[in-house]
Amino acid sequence: MASLFLSGFMGTGKSTLGPLVAARLGLRFVDVDALVASRAGRSAADLLRSDERAFRALEESIVVELAGSSEGAVVSLGGGSVVSARARSALLAGGVLVTLRASEATILERTASRVNERPMLAGDPVARIHELLKERSAAYAECHGEVFTDDLDEEQSCDAICSIFNDNPLVVPLGARSYRVHVVHERPEALTDAVARLGPSGVLAVTDSHVVRARGVSLERALGAIATPHRICTLPPGEEHKRLATIDTIWEAAIGQGLDREGVLVAFGGGVVGDLTGFAASTLFRGVRAVQVPTTLLAMVDASVGGKTGFDLPAGKNLVGSFFQPSAVVVDLAHLSTLPARHRKAGLAEIAKIALLFDASLVDELRVRADELVSGPPEALTSVVRRAIALKARVVSRDETERGERALLNFGHTVGHALEAHGRYTKYLHGEAVALGMIAELEVASGMGRAPKELVTSTRSLLQSLGLPTDVTRAELAASSSYVEVDKKRRHGRLVLPIAKAVGEGELLEVTVAQLAAALHS
């Protein structure tokens, strides 16, 4: 069983609630300060007071050790434990991290009687509480969920903590802009809760006519349970409508509804809806909040997470856009029950892509479970969807604006986007084009001696097992090459071409635009 880690400032209730939650979950309770004292041979407060550097080093080593343990526990962390990036990363990967919060007034009241035992509050406790909360706010925000304990009794606080633990959301850790990705099945209330938590003044849901027919009832059920007024903006479906004029439709709907800067846009649809809504949110009133609710497999594992937004120009795909992170993502696998089989297979291409780049064991799961993933019930996809999202979240947290590692996620996209544009966005679905792009780009890399030929063969076999196309004529590749010349990733006539140089190991390969175009013509 996974561990539950309770973080938060002193006085928020970690030591009080930890044993109660542990009893509920049937897990042992561990107090990090007690472990520090045991190993240091003196109280944590004494060590902190005399040598803060030694205290933090010992605290970090204990936290990393607990995060890596296979024995489940409820762990009460020290107030500053998560300030360490190494410890925080280990906690996010090793279990469910919940931050307990309380107002400064509540914290002062709860700590006043023992302020002399708290070295971090020495001097002026009021000023120190304010200062430390400000310093730690970004670190505290990187968690799987938050519980405000000011007005909750112990029973209610335990309920809220256990709810987060049982839901086990994924997190994209980006400091104060961190957000959760909820992976559920047939739970419209997950969207209700995600939007309600933001306390919006109004809600504009953006979708398209295909999605409304297939999943509109679920959307209305979720938004109808929120007291805040909402409106639905329905767009025409298809990549061919991923244009600035469509974004103008979203802006006008929001302004016509009377939405203000405290409003929330909800993107309810596939990647096109998600990209358009995200861009509209990033620019409306210079930024309003957005919640992504992907209804296609491809959008669930790709477009909805990471904050890339934008639209197409006649010259090419996604040439105008922004990086704008959502406030939450709700992935309800039940939406896939009405997804056409072809679109489901297209989504598997993005899972295969990230597996080939980062996780050989996920590649193995895709091979072994290919038939079930292609045609089984939606919930059969839970494992691979969660794993793919977790991998992407890890990359995004390290390189949000694609200055390095995140560029690997464009594997298959350089040629794939060219094929889409050449086909006027109607011949191939995005995932199909990416599958073809991965093969073409691996063949280019193989020809340059940067990828083994057997990797091209094994990748082709994997994609075929997932029902994806792997063969495109040389004539079509050559005809598509002109779109490579306006690819947004080019710099001074050169491109960084992401490839898998081995299963589970990605690499950035620099080529000239002319080299790639010539390879596509050969």
pLDDT for 517: 80
pLDDT of residue 490: 67
The Cα 11–Cα 26 span in angstroms is 25
Q: What is the pLDDT of residue 118?
A: 86
Q: Say if CB 431 and CB 349 are below 8 A apart.
A: yes
Asked if residues 265 and 293 have their Cβ atoms less than 8 Å apart, the reply is no
Residue 492 has pLDDT above 90, yes or no: no
- Over residues 256-287, the pLDDT tens digits come to 999 999 999 999 999 999 999 999 999 999 99
Which neighbouring-strand residues pair with 435?
Answer: none
**What values do phi and psi take at 154, rounded to 5?**
-60, -40
Topology alike, domains 3-168 and 394-521: no
pLDDT score of 338:
95
What is the rounded CA–CA span in Å between residue 236 and residue 216?
15
The Cα-based distances of 510 to 411, 448, 497, 498, 507 in angstroms read 13, 11, 6, 8, 10
Residues 14-65: tens digit of each pLDDT: 999 999 999 999 999 999 999 999 999 999 999 999 999 999 999 999 999 9
Predicted confidence at residue 328, as pLDDT, reads 98
List b or e across 144-171, with b for residues whose CB sees 16 or more CB atoms inside 10 angstroms.
bbbbebeebeeeebbebbbebbebebbb
Cβ neighbours for 225, distance < 8 A, ≥ 6 positions apart: 188, 189, 192
Would you say residue 462 has pLDDT above 90? yes
| 491: helix, strand or coil | strand
* pTM for this predicted structure: 0.93
Q: What is the CATH number of domain 179-339?
A: 3.40.50.1970
In order of 404, 406, 459, the CA distances from 511 in angstroms are 16, 18, 22
| pLDDT at residue 496 greater than cutoff 90 | no
What are the Cα distances from residue 267, in Å, to 44, 242, 323, 331?
A: 48, 14, 16, 12
Active site residues: 286, 308, 350, 392, 402, 406, 410, 413, 417, 430
Report how far residue 73's alpha carbon sits from residue 67's, in angstroms, rounded to the nearest whole number.
10
341-380, pLDDT tens digit by residue? Answer: 999 999 999 999 999 999 999 999 999 999 999 999 999 9
* Rounded mean pLDDT, 448-459: 95
Backbone angles phi, psi at 226, to 5 degrees: -100, 135
Reported as a single tens digit per residue, the pLDDT across 144-187 is 999 999 999 999 999 999 999 999 999 999 999 999 999 999 99
Average pLDDT over residues 287-298: 98
How confident is the model at residue 510, as a pLDDT? 87
Q: What is the pLDDT of residues 130-147, one digit of tens each?
A: 999 999 999 999 999 999
Q: Are 520 and 440 in contact (CB under 8 A)?
A: yes
Tell me the CA distances in angstroms from 173 to 35, 138, 164, 395, one per residue in order: 27, 9, 16, 10
Say yes or no to pLDDT of 454 above 90: yes
DSSP 270-323: SHHHHHHHHHHHHHGGG--EEEEEE-SHHIIIIITSS-EEEEEETTEEEEEEEE
The domain 394-521 is placed in CATH, from the list 3.40.640.10, 3.90.79.10, 1.20.120.1200, 1.20.1090.10, at: 1.20.1090.10
**How is 242-253 classified by DSSP, letter by letter?**
-SHHHHHHHHHH
Q: Rounded to whole angstroms, how far apart are CA atoms 320 and 309?
A: 8
Q: Of the candidates 14, 134, 20, which has an alpha carbon nearest to the alpha carbon of residue 77?
A: 14
Burial of 424 (0-12, 13-18, 19+ CB in 10 A): exposed
Residue with tokens 């007071």: 49
Partners of 171 in the β-ladder: 180
pLDDT of residue 116: 75
Between CA 44 and CA 34 the distance in angstroms is 7
State the pLDDT confidence band at 217, using cuts at 50, 70 and 90.
very high
For the chain, the domains span: 3-168, 179-339, 394-521
Q: Which helix (H) or strand (E) holds 511?
A: strand 505-512
- Which pLDDT score is estimated for 10? 95
Ramachandran category for residue 99: left, alpha or beta (phi over 0 → left; psi -120 to 50 → alpha): beta
- Give counts: helices (H), strands (E), the chain: 22, 16
What's the mean pLDDT when you consider all of the chain? 94
Which CATH architecture group holds 3-168?
Answer: 3-Layer(aba) Sandwich (3.40)
